[in-house]
Amino acid sequence: MQQKQLRLKEEIIAEFQNMRNEQRMLATKLNTLEMDLKEHKTVIELLKTVDENRKCFRLIGGVLCERTVKEVLPQLVENKDLMEQAAQKLTENLQTIEQINKYKEEH
């Protein structure tokens, strides 16, 4: 009987640790995504103030490409929108904090 209880406690602790690790990983991803999103917003605001035929450079997959502001701006706005959606999903996933707290209270 005591061995069963010990095993049960170990399983509970392991599950709790897994949930905490997942929470930390999601928080790190969300933080990185929010920093990238802030950079995109800054660049978009800056590019809106310059001539649309002006040359600009964009790093795509490690390759620096020469484009015009007119070509790059819509792509940046689209990427920003996708990042905002991803950040929203990560925020929803971080609701596991509540699950962790409930799990902790129950056990």
Q: What is the reported pLDDT for 107? A: 64
pLDDT (0 to 100) of residue 9: 82
Number of domains in the chain: 1
> What was the pLDDT predicted at 19?
80
Beta bridge partners of 55: 68
User: pTM of this prediction?
Assistant: 0.75
Beta-carbon contacts of residue 69 (< 8 Å; ≥ 6 apart): 47, 50, 51, 52, 53, 54, 56
pLDDT, tens digit only, all 107 positions of the chain:
677 777 888 888 888 788 888 888 988 999 999 999 999 999 999 999 999 999 999 998 999 999 999 999 999 999 999 999 999 999 888 876 767 767 677 76
Enter the tokens of residue 63. 């390759």
d(CA 33, CA 96): 19
Q: What is the CATH number of the domain that holds 42?
A: 1.10.287.370
pLDDT at 1: 66
